[in-house]
Structure 1
């Protein structure tokens, strides 16, 4: 029902134009005037005078209203588009909650910083000097040279390289020889077929969510966790990967905490991407224009309000299409770092300065 109503409202908004409304206004005014002319022929003369005055008033007001339509159509279209987007998003909210037990919502970067400042969890460290595992910081020339040396390995971008630490030998080319299994922790907004993984030994050594978030420096706004997928490297297969220690990650400016990192992360690209939700495009609430994503396409993220009241737009996963990936299955760690009750208590007792 949410989707049906939202779709119809969006269609009305797309059709709405000054020309169309002016035409409809003229049509309805003409219908009213035709009815009044019919009545005029059968009423007393004193009433005919009032009808004539009313017809003249209709003509005068119609021209004024036609001029006003030019000014007010765009705000009306914007309101309708925003309403349609909210209804469509609500449909996806309901569906996601039904299929992902315990998941509340994504959390925004600002919201995460508020809660961490108010009540620092176990998985953050106070930043009083250099971070434990500083990033690699390899320049573009070095990245290109490394890819040239290992043409069969996944293509690298600087932001990927920066997720590795320069400690413990830094990032290096490697191979995962089958039979073997790799693991990736996800929530409903993450692709199962993403690029960051861990070995079976690393995954089995993790006892809880705190250890996972700390060792692999996964910010809350990136991944709320709760589920895990398994990638199978079959016997006889050799999977080219990049591997090395995860770099420490600074949290949002305004906090003096960071995620330590140091766990061995594996980077590779599974053969096929996940099917993602094609939600109604996001809308600029001032202009009504469709917002664009980083690739210049319509931004089809679903908007949530996180537990701190901040807006948190995310993509949602429909299904994993890669045949070598099994899952997702629950980790048993829970699906959020803070419960709603904990968040409310933190915000009330220790309000953030952000």
Structure 2
């Protein structure tokens, strides 16, 4: 870990502000520096949306040592989990997902992108439970992979990353990442994994050595214990990692297939165009930046919701599906999208409408009646009445679903609740110094269905809304008009 103290100070500051004692001492209080290093190294990759998890590689490599500190943090967190129960195969699987992100054969671009997906894979391993993982690791981790893909999409949309893609002449990043994932799976062997582990143990020992030398007795004791944990896990690694390779190889194969699907979703809009980069969703950060410059009429600014979201989920009638906090995904907490709600059964022949963009799933949960759809005259009106932020859905298309013959379709219906704009950590975004927030009013009647109840043969063709694709890098002209194509999510 050869770099100046200034580099390390900058790297630590990227994770957490320096302790006040360090600043007040004019950077002379080494015990404060030891405390700073120790606190940064305790970062756990299992926490939601940690820095090391969502922005890696291509961007942070511009700051010396940040990527190495990320690796050390993840390695320490992994080894702590293994130390709790070294017989837990899935803790070793998580370690493999950490170590393959360190393979030197991965270029900086691929490493930065794949670390995002591997981080969400690790989160899944420690949250899904052994029984679910033993049954089907891919299925158990899939919701986390989808969150990781959303973060990857944001990462690929960053100007720095786009410049890197251009310089490397990578015109189809998802296909490229799928190929890199398959290459990693083929290279998995114990010797490569332990070599990667040793490459991270060096910086870890240096950083913890600083904590031991500069910290007080208690801090030195804890740093020494962490070093013992790291060495203990390394001593078991040759045997335990061998048993974790096969499930990781299978998982990587499924991940590569999922990246292939993402490639097809992003490039299906090509028609007689050379190398078009079509449709990258407007990111949350970009939307916040645009609003702070000037917010459009369809965005309200104020301190409260016009249609307050429900605080409690409704009681579930017999035979109906749940939308409470205990419901399975994607229905979990769907009640919060309502201001008022009641259960209903739509009779056969009822036609529902869903506004979507080229990447949206056809069979998702949010729909509207034909009457509501026919009243919509513009994209801003749709966004305002149905409370849809730009980074959620770029629209441009719609699809219909006709309730088939039989007992009807069970749904929840009611007034759409107002939606507040939150940042990546779920905190409200301030609109001004007076404490006002950004809101979408809501107020239209929305329909929530259980996607599992929908049958593909009763889905109508995708059609243009006539509102355009101006928010998503799609060029609507004779060369770049997207192909209207279904995107039906098939649960495995």
Output the CA distance in 2 between the equivalents of 1:261 and 1:97.
31
Relative contact order: is structure 1 or structure 2 higher (C-alpha 8 Å, sep ≥ 6)? Answer: 1
**2:318 is the counterpart of 1:151:** yes
Any conservation in 1 of the 2:420–2:438 contact (CA below 8 Å)? yes
- Paired residues for 1:135-150 under 5 Å: 135-138=309-312, 143=314, 146-147=315-316, 150=317
Q: Which runs of 5+ in 2 are unaligned?
A: 1-170, 203-251, 326-332, 423-427, 431-436, 476-492
Distance in 2, matches of 1:89 and 1:234, equals 29
Matched, 1:95 2:267: yes
Give the one of 432, 444, 448 matched to 1:263: 444
Q: Paired residue for 1:240, among 410, 417, 428? A: 410
Higher relative strand content: 1
TM-fit CA distance, 1:327: 2.3
Deviations 1:148-191, CA, capped at 9 Å, x for gaps: xx1222222242111101xxxx2112222232211011112321
For the residues of structure 2 that align with 1:138 and 1:92, how far apart are their CA atoms?
A: 40
Q: CA–CA distance in 2 between the matches of 1:236 and 1:108? A: 42
Aligned pair partner of 2:289 in 114, 118, 141: 114
Q: CA deviation at 1:9?
A: 3.7
After superposition, give the CA deviation of every residue in 1:91-123 in whole Å (9 maximum; x if it has no partner). 447524427x99631122222111122121222
How many equivalent pairs are there?
A: 229
Deviates more, 1:111-120 or 1:199-208: 111-120
Secondary structure of 2:296's aligned partner: coil
Q: Does the 8 Å contact 2:384/2:442 carry over to 1?
A: yes
Cα-to-partner distance string for 1:122-154 (whole Å, 9 max, x where unaligned): 221111x42211111115xxx4xx11xx12222
Residue matched to 1:194: 364
SS at match of 2:292: helix
Displacement, 1:264?
A: 0.2
Name the CA shift for 1:106/1:176 in 2 (closer, same or farther; >3 Å). same
Residue of structure 1 equivalent to 2:463 = 329
Alpha-carbon offset, residue 208 of structure 1: 0.9
Segments of 5+ residues of structure 1 without an aligned counterpart are 23-66, 75-80, 274-320, 342-354
Aligned: 1:204 with 2:383: no
Mapped to 2, the partners of 1:227 and 1:204 lie a distance apart of: 14
Alignment map for 1:190-339 (pairs within 5 Å): 190-234=360-404, 237-252=407-422, 253-255=428-430, 256-271=437-452, 322-337=456-471
What is the rounded CA distance, in whole Å, between the counterparts of 2:201 and 2:182 in structure 1?
15
> How far 1:229 moved relative to its partner?
0.8
**Pair member with larger Rg:** 1
> In the TM superposition, what is the alpha-carbon distance from 1:233 to its structure 2 partner?
1.9
Name the structure 2 match of 1:71. 199
Equivalent position of 2:184 in the other structure = 13
Match of 2:355 in 1: 185
The answer (yes or no) to whether the contact 2:265–2:358 under 8 Å persists in 1 is no
Q: 1:198 to 1:20 in 2, by over 3 A?
A: closer
TM-score by length of 2: 0.40
- What is the CA-CA distance between 1:199 and the residue it aligns to? 0.4
Deviation at 1:5, TM superposition (A): 5.9
Query: Which residue of the partner structure matches residue 104 of structure 1?
Result: 279
The 1-side partners of 2:349 and 2:474 are apart by 42
TM-score by length of 1: 0.55
Q: Is the 8 A contact 1:135 1:162 kept in 2?
A: yes
Match of 1:38 in 2: none
- Please identify which structure carries the higher helix content: 2
Structure 2 match to 1:61: none
**In structure 1, C-alpha distance between the alignment counterparts of 2:261 and 2:458, rounded to whole Å:** 31
